[in-house]
Amino acid sequence: MTRFVFVTGGVVSSLGKGIASASLGAILEGRGIKVSLVKLDPYINVDPGTMSPFQHGEVFVTNDGAETDLDLGHYERFVRTTSTRNSNFTTGRIYERVIAKERRGDYLGATVQVIPHITDEIRRCIKLGAGDADVCMVEVGGTVGDIESLPFLEGIRQMAVEIGRHNCVFMHLTLVPIVGGGEIKTKPTQHSVKELRSIGIQPDVLLCRSRDQLPDEQRRKISLFTNVEERAVISAVDSDDIYKIPLLLHEQGLDDIVLDRLRISAPPTDLSDWKAVVEAKFATDAEVNVAMVGKYVQIRDSYISLNEALVHAGLKTHTKVKVHYVEATDIERDGAGCLAGMDAILVPGGFGERGIEGKIEAVRYARENSIPYLGICLGMQVACIEFARHRLGLAAANSTEFNRDTPDPVIALITEWRDLNHGTVTRDERSDLGGTMRLGAQPARLEAGSEAARVYGAQVIRERHRHRYEFNNTYLEPMRAAGMRFSGFSEDDLVEVIELPGHPWFVAVQFHPEFTSTPRDSHPLFAGFIRAARAAHAEQGAATGTAAAPQSAAQA
């Protein structure tokens, strides 16, 4: 029987429920327990796929092609689990399912209500996401007291009654602020727990987010006023490295508290992997500067998996990676001079026309100045556009996403690939990929001897996609003749990887490798990119006579 840990949050939003859930999952996994994780989101959107990155941050894509909350990225980075479309449910998705059942007559004419129909569906979805795990972590988005999260809270309350109180743990994350002259305030936590108890949920564990470790006096006070045993009042202190958090929580005995409550016997905890990850951060022997040229750089959560993938590559290659965020529209206004001195340039994915010319100019700067370049999704598409314009001589080359009337649609929907002379479709249109998003993990074959095949150490890979537009194969041979190498293709011959032979390191991919990077394993493409940046940095230092001495662990 699967047991459950329900994670809620109070006082303020964005306290780190996702990191807390993932960290506890990592500790339990370190004790030989099979863990699954589910996120319940209270917004009415069916999924975050249509939401602005400025509002919601990154959209994380699962192997099976679901567009989900960014917390699922934390889950996969901390726990060796693969999320699915059943790992994330929104209010919109729950209501969509209930309304579909009502329209089919599944409720036999009953009046459909929040209780029991919506809450029954919530419980059913939680069990679906749990699968056959020993313990399922269920994170409820939002803040206790919000109207929109009430059905989810009622759903998990009912579930505790259904499965038995000894088969679940309620873990509540709150804020303990420090005000004035350093006075620690426990009242917000007391009120948050009071709000939770008013709807029938008594927390078993409190994670108290604070700047510093909570003194015993405050822990006793919180325990007294919240009816939570003192040892279960845990300090969730601010950390300079999220990968330390499993170690910090384990030191306070969180896993023992949870397992005792669930009546589970487990082997001693093995967190050696996480100790190695934390130590690797201080074992760097080089530093590189990477420019990330994007359209949502003001909101770091928009590129959270990408940021973490660069960190992971740094851990793998013993490199301190300094990311410089460059707004693409600034390059359009001021030129690419801001990229001078960078050891590498990365152009990530995105949608819409804004900033596209700035991204194209960044690609040109990397290509003409022999700076290592990594393009991801849109980053590959703008690399193709730039090459067509400045090496193939097609000055008006573009994507039909940005210019429907371009005479040279180097990037287009599959249904728009038409022979320029005869007006006929140049490839089989059996699928409707051109009219919908290509989502989820799909295989690609890599050309033997290519940089991509060398980095991956394989000729067949599987990577996750999230895009509609593709490289137009009408331009395949002309661009090959001009010097571009197409080194990766999908099963139905869509371009997946491009390279520039003779360039120090120029690789761009149609997929999103950042979604499968983890701190313990890194991702070969990002590790290869950072190694190329290191080589560029060393070469630049040698040329100027200012090569930096390797850093010791203490200096790092």
Residues with a catalytic annotation lie at 377, 512, 514
Pairing of strands 205-210, 168-175: parallel
| Residues near 189 by beta carbon (within 8 Å), at least 6 away in sequence | 10, 11, 174, 175, 176, 206, 208, 222, 226
| Longest CA span, the chain | 81
Q: What is the CA radius of gyration of the chain?
A: 25
| Residues near 339 by beta carbon (within 8 Å), at least 6 away in sequence | 291, 293, 326, 331, 345, 362, 365, 366, 371
Torsion of CA 361, 362, 368, 373, to 10 degrees: -150
**Sequential DSSP letters for 224-236:** HHHT--GGGEEEE
- Put residue 128 in one of left, alpha, beta given phi > 0 → left and psi -120 to 50 → alpha: alpha
Closest CA to 469 of 519, 409, 522: 409
Distance CA 115, CA 144 (A): 19
Using the 8-state DSSP alphabet, how is residue 165 labeled?
Answer: G
Residue 148 buriedness (CB in 10 A; 0-12 / 13-18 / 19+): middle
Specify whether the CB–CB gap between 490 and 466 falls below 8 A: no
Distance CA 289, CA 307 (A): 13
Percent of the chain that is helix, strand, coil (3-state, to 5): 40, 20, 35
Q: Is 178 helix (H, G, I), strand (E, B) or coil?
A: strand
Q: Calculate ∠ Cα 107-108-109, nearest 5°.
A: 95
Distance CA 82, CA 100 (A): 28
Q: Calculate ∠ Cα 235-237-243, nearest 5°.
A: 115
Distance CA 368, CA 374 (A): 14
